Amino acid sequence: MEDLQNKLQAELDKFKAVGKEYHNAISQRQVLDGQLHENMGVKTELDLLKADGEVFKMIGPVLVKQELTEAKQNVNKRIDYITNELKRMDDMISNLDAEQDKHKEKLATLQMQFQQEQMKAAASKA
């Protein structure tokens, strides 16, 4: 019975670890989503500029002039990168979700076995 209790505790610890990882992945995804939204706004603003429009990039406390085409390319590259990271995060979240479900099922099975062992032990004492 003690062995079963140890298995139950180990499985619970695994479940908690996966849950923590899942919540971290969700947080990272939210940050990426915010960055994507911000970059889409920048892209929209850059698209409104005329070809001879001036764009400045902030580097530390200084504004440095930048070519419009270069600025658009940089924003597009960032959007592509963030989109790929979002896809990777979604895949990771999906995998972690499946892993959590697997641990839940195993926990339920172990809990049932543990309860049956307790009932057998109580019946043998009576």
pTM, two decimal places: 0.80
Estimate the crossing angle of helix 2-48 against helix 68-125, to 10 degrees.
160
Local structure of 70: helix, strand or coil: helix
The structure tokens listed for 1 are: 């019975």
Domain boundaries, the chain: 2-46+77-125
Per-position pLDDT tens, the chain of length 126: 788 888 889 999 999 999 999 999 999 999 999 999 999 999 999 999 998 889 999 999 999 999 999 999 999 999 999 999 999 999 999 999 999 999 999 999 999 988 888 888 888 876
